[in-house]
Structure 1
Amino acid sequence: MATHNVFLDPAGTSPFGLAVIVLAPTGVTYEHQCEGLMTSTRAAEGFLVPVPSNDYDPEANEAFDVEGALLGFFHKEFRGNPPPLEEWRQGQVESLAQVVSRVPFWSTPTGSAPSELLHLSLDLDRIAEATEAWVPVTTPYGPGILVFQNCD
């Protein structure tokens, strides 16, 4: 299979919202700048799924800004310098998991089964990979990486 590389927002000037790289053997590798001010680049093979930046909160009868909450979490907790996971303070993983659980993700099965609105979950088996703009998640299609604008 031919391999193709796609760099998401290579100039860092065109934020694209939220997206998930669902890990799969597609021959397409997505690269993304992440890790706050350290500005490392990571890559994953799979297919890209844009996801909504807002989630409807029925209790408050309003939209919840998921993208803003993710950006706010990394800014407030790490100020552009996310450390390795073993240096995260108690409660930070739980806080990130709570925000990730608000990211809407449509499951679109084949055949006559209806589409279903679900939500992502933080993949705790791969939590060591987590950093700003690169968060391991579980999707209806399997493991993935939630990507968003890096703070640099």
Structure 2
Amino acid sequence: MRREATRDEATVMAMHNVFLDPAGTTPFGLAVIVLAPTGVTYEHQCEGLMTSTRTVEGFLVPVPSNDYDPEANEAFDAEGALLSFFHKEFRGNPPPPEQWTPGQVESLAKLVSRVPFWSTPTGSAPSELLHLTLDMERVAEITEAWVPVKTPYGPGILVFQNCD
């Protein structure tokens, strides 16, 4: 039998905050924070050398940094490609997304579409390897190390090491 949380327990559950790599010394690879009412917020340093922090509520899903592309018959380093994109395009100073060129948004969308993400449904349905999609409805949120994406579980944020 499921027990309802008391008001005090609910208050405690709603107050959990996790700062991803607070010292900035332990890169964690790629992860997606799927937006959901979990009572847990994740805080992450982003925005290149401006080093702002952003917070979102949800659940964290580690994603592989490497993927194999059978069409090209080669491995793809998604994390390295994302880090290189932001370094090459913005040198640690990403402007607001409204100042990006259409080509820059398209390049980021292509990179994001190569990031593997496993869908693991409940029940007897098999897991399925899918890929993320840049969430074009939330382009205004994009910055280095904080990229809005669509996942099989709903909207999320792709996070990775900030360049600072």
Shorter chain as denominator, the TM-score bin is over 0.9
1:30 aligns with 2:51: no
Q: What is the match of residue 31 of structure 2?
A: 19
Q: Which residue of 2 aligns with 1:65?
A: 77
Q: Does residue 1:149 correspond to 2:161, yes or no?
A: yes
How far off its partner does 1:48 sit? 0.1
- Counting matched residue pairs gives 152
Question: Identity of paired residues, percent?
Answer: 87
What SS is found at the alignment partner of 1:95? helix
- The structural deviation recorded for 1:61 is 1.6
Deviations for 1:53-99, whole angstroms, at most 9, x for unmatched residues?
A: 01111122221010010000000000000000111123100000000
Instruction: Determine if the alignment matches structure 1 residue 135 to structure 2 residue 150.
Output: no
Aligned position for 2:4: none
| Residue type of the alignment partner of 2:159 | V
Residue matched to 2:54: 42
Deviations 1:106-140 (A, max 9, x none): 00000000000000000000010000000000000
Large movers: runs of 4+ above 3 Å: none
Aligned equivalents of 1:71 and 1:55: distance in 2?
16
Gaps of 5+ in 2: 1-9
Corresponding letter in the other structure for 1:6: V
Q: Distance in 2 between matches of 1:124 and 1:90?
A: 12
Give RMSD over aligned pairs.
0.6
* C-alpha separation in 2, matches of 1:133 and 1:57: 24
What is the TM-score normalised by the length of structure 2? 0.91
For residue 81 of structure 1, the aligned residue among 73, 93, 96 is 93
* Alpha-carbon distance in structure 1 between the residues aligned to 2:76 and 2:98: 30
Q: Looking at CA atoms only, which structure, 1 or 2, has the larger radius of gyration?
A: 2
SS at match of 2:102: coil
**Structure 1 stretches of 5 or more lacking a match?**
none
